[in-house]
């Protein structure tokens, strides 16, 4: 049986605060911090003498992430942030887009900036009826950052496949809690930021691009490591790889990749099925406590639609969040409420302290 309270020791940031703000940015775990620190320590002591060793470590992490996502390592690139990945994908795909009006701006802005036709929907429940023969691309978050609504990826993937629609997913608010199986649930492109639920810190955002898409359209940008044989350093011809690593263009974001590797070590040691169940149980406790106090929520209650995010309706979100922060209880003010985000390293005491303070 998992020692959930024992796992809290992996996150020193939890020691003196109630951390209910993972949806804004999660604390780094010990494994992630140690891996990044080791890279900087080596560079500090030895200079740039370990390039080949670092590249081997990058490929180890690429294979590790591929295992977690049930994808091919050749379909994964390591970038600095999710917005960068979504812009690369927007350069690879053309056509009419369906998106959510209240989604995170990084999901929608790349298409608008390129002058694409974007049909905005008011709610995720409208997606399936909105995907018509005139739709070429669905761009959407796995979990909505404001409400915590979690998309049924399998159903959405099946529908997009049946209608020949490209599916682009920002999994930032879901990866690290909910299993994603890209073999069982085909997606054309998926990206996530490592600094939230993966607890890997800033500076790393893996991008998955389906091999069929890479082989059909090629790379939308190029740098020296985009070549099939990068160490030929050929400047007069363009012979690009169809592996996603070509999207890294130059050197990988080493420290971020290694931090992600450490974070994945911890995630795999626990198991995503166990993490999902733990988060769902804690959200049950939170919702029951809010209901008992007559405090309304604006998030799904059904387990198959909710996530680790619960939006709590309060009259003055910003003032309330600031007052809670003075008591070392961290949440976010979003729209007309407080965004409370619960991860596996939280416990019932955290929730009770939040509820009592609220």
Token readout for 348 is 């019932």
- From first to last of its 358 residues, the chain has per-residue pLDDT tens of 899 999 999 999 999 999 999 999 999 999 999 999 999 999 999 999 999 999 999 999 999 999 999 999 999 999 999 999 999 999 999 999 999 999 999 999 999 999 999 999 999 999 999 999 899 999 999 999 999 999 999 999 999 999 999 999 999 999 999 999 999 999 999 999 999 999 999 999 999 999 999 998 889 999 999 999 999 999 999 999 999 999 999 999 999 999 999 999 999 999 999 999 999 999 999 999 999 999 999 999 999 999 999 999 999 999 999 999 999 999 999 988 999 999 999 999 999 999 999 9
- Domains in the chain, CATH or no CATH each: 32-269 (3.40.640.10), 272-357 (3.90.1150.10)
Which DSSP state fits 150?
Answer: B
C-alpha triplet 335, 341, 347: angle, nearest 5°: 150
The partner residues of 297 in beta bridges, in order of sequence, read 312
* Dist. CA 124–CA 338, nearest whole Å: 20
Token readout for 238 is 């363009």
Cβ atoms within 10 Å of 312's Cβ, excluding its own: 22
pLDDT at residue 1 in the model: 84
> What are the distances in angstroms from CA 169 to CA 100, 156, 161, 238?
12, 11, 14, 30
Residue 186's nearest CA partner among 312, 299, 70, 321 is 70
Contact 217, 227 (CB under 8 A): no
Residue with tokens 């995503």: 272
Residue with tokens 């733990």: 278
| 3-class DSSP state of 288 | helix
* Dist. CA 355–CA 62, nearest whole Å: 41
> What's the order of all strands across the beta sheet hosting 337-341?
309-313, 337-341, 332-334
* Dist. CA 352–CA 213, nearest whole Å: 48
Packing angle, helices 30-46 and 254-270, rounded to 10: 150
| 3-class DSSP state of 293 | coil
This prediction has a pTM of 0.95
pLDDT at residue 176 in the model: 98
- Alpha-carbon torsion angle 72, 74, 78, 79, nearest 10: -120
The partner residues of 338 in beta bridges, in order of sequence, read 312, 333
In sequence order, which ranges of the chain are alpha helices (DSSP H)? 4-7, 30-46, 51-69, 82-92, 105-113, 127-130, 153-162, 211-217, 254-270, 272-292, 317-325, 348-357
pLDDT at residue 336 in the model: 86
pLDDT at residue 335 in the model: 83
Determine the length of the chain.
358
* Dist. CA 49–CA 35, nearest whole Å: 18
* Dist. CA 201–CA 18, nearest whole Å: 19
pLDDT at residue 326 in the model: 97
């Amino acid at each position: 049986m998992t020692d959930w309270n024992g796992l809290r020791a992996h996150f020193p940031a939890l020691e003196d605060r109630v951390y209910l703000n993972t949806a804004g940015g999660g604390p780094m775990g010990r494994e992630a911090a140690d891996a990044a620190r080791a890279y900087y320590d080596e560079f500090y002591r030895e200079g740039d003498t370990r390039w080949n060793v670092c590249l081997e470590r990058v490929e180890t992490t690429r294979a590790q992430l591929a295992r977690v996502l049930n994808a091919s390592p050749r379909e994964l690139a390591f970038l600095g942030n999710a917005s960068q990945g979504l812009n690369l994908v927007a350069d690879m795909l053309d056509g009419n887009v369906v998106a959510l009006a209240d989604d995170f701006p990084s999901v929608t802005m790349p298409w608008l900036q390129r002058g694409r036709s974007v049909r905005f929907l008011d709610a995720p429940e409208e997606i399936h009826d909105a995907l018509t023969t005139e739709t070429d691309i669905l761009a959407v978050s796995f979990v909505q950052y404001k409400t915590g609504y979690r998309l049924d990826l399998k159903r959405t993937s099946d529908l997009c496949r049946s209608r020949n629609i490209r599916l682009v997913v920002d999994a930032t608010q879901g990866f690290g809690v909910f299993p994603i199986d890209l073999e069982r649930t085909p997606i054309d492109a998926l990206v996530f930021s490592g600094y939230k639920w993966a607890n890997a810190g800033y500076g790393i955002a893996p991008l998955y691009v389906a091999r069929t898409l890479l082989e059909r359209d090629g790379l939308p940008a190029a740098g020296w490591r985009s070549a099939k044989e990068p160490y030929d350093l050929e400047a007069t011809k363009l012979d690009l790889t169809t592996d996603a690593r070509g999207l890294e263009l130059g050197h990988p974001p080493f420290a971020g990749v290694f931090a992600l590797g450490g974070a994945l070590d911890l995630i795999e040691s626990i198991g995503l099925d166990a993490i999902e169940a733990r988060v769902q149980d804690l959200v049950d406790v939170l919702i029951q406590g809010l209901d008992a106090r007559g405090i309304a929520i604006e998030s799904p209650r059904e387990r198959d639609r909710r996530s680790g995010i619960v939006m709590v309706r309060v009259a003055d979100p910003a003032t309330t969040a600031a007052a809670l922060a003075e008591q070392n209880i961290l949440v976010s003010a979003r729209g007309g409420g407080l965004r409370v985000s619960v991860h596996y390293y939280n416990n019932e005491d955290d929730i009770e302290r939040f509820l009592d303070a609220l």
